[in-house]
Chain A
Amino acid sequence: MNPLFSLTPTERGPIVNVREQESNIPLTISIETTGLSSLVEIGQQVARGQRIAADNYGTQAALHSSVSGTVLDVKTNFILIKTEGDRIADLLEFSTADSRTMLDNLRNAGINVQHLKQGCTLIINAVPPESGIDGHRFLIEEFNSIMIEGLTYLKDALTPIACTIAIPKGMNWTLAGCTVHEINPVYPEGLNAMVVKAVTGKEMPPEVSVIDAATLYRIGRTIHGKQPVSDIMVKVGATLFQAPVGTQVGLLARLAGFTVSQHDRVILGGPLSGEAVYTLRHGISPSTQAITVLSSGSEPTIKDSPCVGCGECVIKCPARIMPNMISRHSEFGLFENTLAYNIASCFECGLCTYWCPAQRPVLQYIRLAKKELSKQPILEDLRK
C-alpha cells in the first residue's frame, strides 16, 4: 500500500522542547487572529496565559499569549509578541453550574466548542488524520490521566448518551469511561466523517460530537492547570516538538533539519488536507498538529487545464459524489448547479485533487462553490 495513506502511528522518538532549545535567544511568537478582535496594543506587556484576542459574537474560541512578553505588532490577522520577563496570568475559574457556562468557560480558555452538542454520542478521534500526524500517541500513552480529567469535565457539560474512543487498528490505547473502536488505518478513514460512520454505522448523523485526542488533552490540561494551554505537540517531519502556541514555522522547520528555500511549500497539517502558509513567520495555532515541508518540484502540482472526464475522482471519492462535474460547474461560476451533484456531502479529503491526471485544483473548486453557496440566504425549508 502507498505509505502516504498509512495511518498506523510510528514509533515514538524523543521530544524536542522548543523553549529549552531556544532558551538563550528571546523567542518571537506570532498568533493568527483571523476573525477575532485584538485585546492588546503595541508595546503592551502581556503575561503567559493572558487573553489577547476574543470573538465579539461569542462563537469562536479566544486566543491567549503562550509567553510572557511585549507586543511587537498588531496586524489585521496577527499579533506578534517578543518574549520578555516571567509574568503569569491569573488562574481561570471553571464553574460546574450548568452546561452552558461550562462550555463558555472552555471557549474562553481557548477551546473550540462550536460542534459540541448536548446529549450526543461523544467520539474521541485518536486516529491520525493523515500519515505521520501522530503526536497524540505520546499524549495518550503518557498523559492518560490528564485526558480522563478533560473527558470527565466534558461528560459533565454534555451528558453524552455514549462515549467512544476511535483508535487505529493494532494500538492498545484506552481511555477510562470510553468504549474502544478500532479503525482501519488507511486514509481517509481517520477523518471525522469516516470515523463517525465506522463507529455509529450512520453517515453524517446529527446527534454526534467528534473531538480529536489532541483537543481532549488540551481540555484536560486547561482544567487541570486552570490556565489556557500554552504548549502543544507538533510533528515536523519525523520529529515531535513541544512548542509554544504561535511558534513560527520557520523556527520549527529549522530545528527539524529542513532548509526551506525559494518556492518551497510549508503546510500546516498534512500534505493532503493541510493549509499552506505564505511566510516562514507564520505561527502555529492551538489546533495545529503537524507541519509539512515540501520542496519545490520542477512541475507544478496544479494547472489550469480542462477536465478530461476520466472519472478517477469519482471512483476514488469516499463521499460518492462527482467532483468532476462539481469542479466543471464551479469553474464557470454556476454554483447553484453543484447542489444537484451533492456538493454538501463532500468532507474535503483532497483525494480528488491527488488523483486528478489533469492536475485540476478540484478541492479548491469545491470549496469555492461551498463558500459561495453558504453566503446565500436560506430560502427553502431545511426541515424537509
Chain B
Amino acid sequence: MEAIILQILNGLDKGSAYALIALGLTLIFGTLGVVNFAHGALFMIGAFVAVTLNRIFNLSFTVIDETRTDFLGNPMQVEVPYVEQWFGAETGAAIIDWSVPLAIIVAIPIMALIGIAMERGLIKYFYKRPHADQILVTFGLAIVLQEIVKAFYGANPIPTPAPDAFRGSFDVGQLIGFEPFAIVYPYWRLVYFAFAAIVIGAVFAFLQFTTFGMVVRAGMADRETVGILGIDIDKRFTTMFAIAAIVAGLAGVMYTPILSPNYHMGMDFLVLSFVVVVVGGMGSLGGAVAAGFLLGVLQSFASMSQVIDLIPGINQVIIYLVAIIVLLTRPRGLMGRKGVMEE
C-alpha cells in the first residue's frame, strides 16, 4: 500500500510536468491550429531563466577579510556576492537561496515576450500552411533555441538547488495515518505538484470566467464567426500563445531543482508531451491535463521493480504503448472533440 501511494506521488510529479507542457501545446493547437515543436524549447528556456537568475545572484567580488587568516598568516580573500553587499548578509543569502521561486517573477515577462515574438515573428505566417510545414519550421526553431542555450551554458547539466526550507523530505504517510517514515517524500516535489495544480487551475479559471477567455473559447470553436462579429481575434490569439509560453516556462523554472537543466531537456520532454496531447485528445485542455497525470502515474508504476521483473523494459515503453493503444481504439484520444486536427 505504501509503495503504491509512493508511486502515485512520483507519478503525479512527473505528470505535473507533462500536463503543464501539454496544456500549453493544446492551447496553441486549439486556438491557433499550430503544431508547435518548439514548445519543449520554451520549457527549457524557463529552466534556464532560473539558472541565469541563480548565476546573477551569485555574482561576487573578492574582498580581503582582515579578521581571518589562512595557514600562512596572510589575511584571507573572501568572495562576497553583490546581493549580500547591497541587501545585507542575511537578506542577500536568503535571496540567493530563493533564486528558483524568485525566477518565476522574472520568467513571466520574459516568457511572454518570447511567446509574442515567436507568434508575431514566425508562427503568424504559418497558419495557412500545412501542418507538416508548421512541424518543420518549429522543429528548426527548436534546434536553433537549443543550440543558442548550449553555446551560452555548455552541454553539461547545471544543478540549481531548491531553497533550503524545501530541502529534505516530508513524512506524507504520517499525515494520512500511516506508520511514521512509511511514506517519505521530498518537499520540493510536493511543491511542484501544488504549483502545477495552481497554474492549471488559473488557466482554466481564466478561460472559463473571463470575457477574454470566453472570446478565445468561441474563437477555438469558430474563428471566422468571431472575426465577423468585429472582434480582433488575432490579438487575443497572440495573447494565448504568450500564456502557453508562460505556462511552459514556469513548468521549466520550477522543475530545475528536480532535474538539473541541460540544453536538450526540451526535446526530451517534447516527445512525451506530444504523446500526452494525442492521448488526451487534440484540442482538449481537460484531456491534456488528465492524460498528463495518467501517463505520469502509469510510468511510475511501470518502473516499480516488481513490475519490471514481470515484464522487463515496460518502464521504457509504457507511455508509447498506451499512446498506440489509445489511438487505435479511440482515434480522437480520451477526450478529443470531433473535427480537431482531422484534416
Tell whether A pairs with B.
no
